[in-house]
Amino acid sequence: MVAAIASDHAVRGSTLTLREVSHRFNFEGQPLPVLDRINLQVGRGEFVALLGPSGCGKSTLLRLVAGLDTPTAGSLLTEGRKIEAPDPSRVVVFQDPTLYPWRTVWSNVALGLEARGLLRTHRGRIEDALRLVGLTGFANAYPHQLSGGMAQRAALARALVNDPKLLILDEPLGQLDSLTRITMQAELVSLWQRSSFTALLVTHDVEEALLLAGRVVVLSDRPARIKAEVVNSQPYPRHRGDPHFVELRREVFEHLGLDEAW
């Protein structure tokens, strides 16, 4: 299914380095520190999850990685080069699907190719991406005709069509019902395995982080600092009931300071 999307290179993921990244907002005249000296090294083709309570600064961090904002201090590098502006090799799936309401699903997915003038040569990818997320029959639908989950899948297709080297996922499954969510989690993993991009996933769902990622980075409350890293080297597909999985989950909860509640 993903053949056309995954074709080109053998190893296509890019590396990502965060060095002492700090960020502050101005909120009602007061400085609001959101990120506090984050250091992170993500290897080529790795799947890393950032786990933290809501409002701790995860989305902010992803916007820095995408190049949409510049950090107050520290630097971000990909393939050894500084991230200064957005680049289509780093594609974001935002928390909110934000499809363009005036475009059909098909032309929403076509957005990246159109923006880069590749629509004529890479047209076929759009069909592939739609098939991948199960929206083939809805190519001509407008966003207001989609359910929340379908819109989120369309947003995922819009990202995948660009053949990213780094896929940045900001709670992309947060709005899905639990059934679709489980299917999409499996889809994400197999997609990542087949196309070997580097994936950076933000989530506040401990199980999701452990199911998908090889490494879970636990963040503190705002301002976000890295509290711990939990490595999960279990093979895919992973099972929630597996004793080792349960053990890892307990460990992560402990890092989050929630062991008693659990």
Partner 1 sequence: MSSVIDEVPRPSEKSGFGSFESSTPRSLIGGLSAAAAWSMVAALTAFWPDKLESDWAYTGSFAIACGVLAVALALAAFAGVRFVAFRRLQRLSPWLFALALFFVAWEAVTAKLGLLPLPFFPPPQAILEVAIDDWGRLAEGIFASARLLATGYFIGATVGFVTGVAIGWSRLAGYWIHPVLRFIGPLPATAWLPLAFFVFPSSFSASIFLIALATGFPVTVLTWSGVACVKSAYYDIARTLGATQRFLVFKVAIPAALPHVFVGLFMGLGNSFAVLVVAEMLGVKAGLGWYLQWAQGWAAYANMYAALLLMALLCSGLITLLFRLRDRLLSWQKGLVRW
Among 6, 16, 21, 57, interactor with ligand ADP by CB under 6 A: 57
Task: Write out the binding residues for ligand ADP, residues 5-34 only, by CB under 6 A.
Answer: 25, 27, 32, 34
22 binds Mg ion (CB under 5 A): no
Q: Are 135 and 160 in contact (CB under 8 A)?
A: no
Please report, in angstroms and rounded to a whole number, the separation of the first and last CA atoms in the chain. 40
Which residues, 6+ apart, have CB-to-CB distance to 29 below 8 Å?
none
**Which residue matches tokens 């080529």?**
44
107 binds Mg ion (CB under 5 A): no
54 binds ligand ADP (CB under 6 A): yes
Quick one: the chain helix, strand, coil %, rounded to 5?
35, 25, 40
Q: Which of Mg ion, ligand ADP, partner 1, none lies near 92, with the C-beta cut-off 5 to 8 A by kind? A: partner 1
Instruction: Count residues near ligand ADP (CB under 6 A).
Output: 13
59 binds Mg ion (CB under 5 A): yes
| Shorter beta-carbon distance to ligand ADP: residue 165 or 204 | 204
Among 78, 152, 162, 220, interactor with partner 1 by CB under 8 A: 162
Instruction: Count residues near Mg ion (CB under 5 A).
Output: 1
Which residues, 6+ apart, have CB-to-CB distance to 62 below 8 Å?
92, 168, 170, 200, 202
Distance CA 253, CA 131 (A): 37
* Beta-carbon count within 10 A of 79 CB: 13
Q: Are 43 and 101 in contact (CB under 8 A)?
A: no
Q: Which of ligand ADP, Mg ion, partner 1, none lies near 91, with the C-beta cut-off 5 to 8 A by kind? A: partner 1
Instruction: Count residues near partner 1 (CB under 8 A).
Output: 27
Distance CA 235, CA 160 (A): 24
Task: Write out the binding residues for partner 1, residues 97-126 only, by CB under 8 A.
Answer: 98, 100-104, 111-112, 114-116
88 binds partner 1 (CB under 8 A): yes
Q: C-beta of 91: minimal distance to ligand ADP in Å?
A: 18
Instruction: Residue 38: name the closest of 12, 61, 66 by CA.
Output: 61
Question: Closest-CB residue for Mg ion?
Answer: 59
Residues that bind partner 1 (CB under 8 A): 63, 66-68, 86-88, 90-92, 94, 96, 98, 100-104, 111-112, 114-116, 142, 144, 158, 162
